[in-house]
Amino acid sequence: VQLQASGGGLVQPGGSLRLSCAASGNIIRINVMGWYRQVPGKQRELVATTTNGGSTDYADSVKGRFAISGDNAKNTVYLQMNSLKPEDTAVYYCNANLIPRGSGWRTYDYWGQGTQVTVSS
């Protein structure tokens, strides 16, 4: 199983970016996909998650500005980030909680490689 994230970059304050993350491999079911972020010297923190049923959860700091969505058919999750602030600058990691084929229906967490988001003028 692999998670491939894309869409990071440099944007001015107030701008927008859209992150994508696609899960590939022998997957029976994805339970939850989400985005976390980390800055040097700090712990990785939750940004947003979405379940295969469409329920979503957001960090307070991004509510009203970010929107997470998923495409179950493509095993892909998106994060639309609007009204970006300098404090949103971080490496963003995609996460998936899923059941791989051949795991005996056990769930595992997988992480993508991280994509840098920099908000600066």
Q: What is the pLDDT of residue 104?
A: 86
Residue 83 — φ and ψ, nearest 5°?
50, 45
pLDDT tens, the chain, 121 aa long: 999 999 999 999 999 999 999 999 999 999 999 999 999 999 999 999 999 999 999 999 999 999 999 998 999 999 999 999 999 999 999 999 999 998 888 999 999 999 999 999 9
Residue 36 tokens read as 């976390």
The span from the CA of 63 to the CA of 14, in Å, is 15
